[in-house]
Amino acid sequence: MSLLIEAAEVAEHFQWLLDGSEDSQLPGDREAVAAEMADVFIYLIMLADKLDINLIEATLRKIRLNEARYPEEHCQGAVPEPLEVEEGSVTGNLRYNRENTP
């Protein structure tokens, strides 16, 4: 699937970082990374269109679910265990305003 191939091409730019941390160094050719990321984005949009999935709504639902599973007060400085949350019961403080989302 093209989406996976393009995602691998993004990862390729980070493969040989000295300490293995994506945060420690950015690849030298940011424009090449940006182009590969754009390819991933395009294929993701095409797939969402085929499956009739609204990516903005799906993303907002996922953010709410993550906020419920990983409350900020429990996630400072450590990787927490997720809380058990049913998708339909997710409430929480959504930081993204739908009205301001294109």
Q: Is the entire prediction scored with pTM above 0.85?
A: no
**Cβ contacts of 13 within 8 Å, gap of 6 or more:** 27, 29, 32, 33, 36
Weakly modelled stretches of the chain, pLDDT under 50: 89-102
Give the pLDDT confidence score for residue 94 in this predicted structure: 37
Residue type, 74: H
Instruction: Report pLDDT for 29.
Output: 81
User: Which residue has tokens 């996976």?
Assistant: 4
Q: Are 63 and 96 in contact (CB under 8 A)?
A: yes
Residue 66: per-residue pLDDT: 87
**pLDDT recorded at residue 47:** 95
Name the amino acid, one letter, at 96: Y
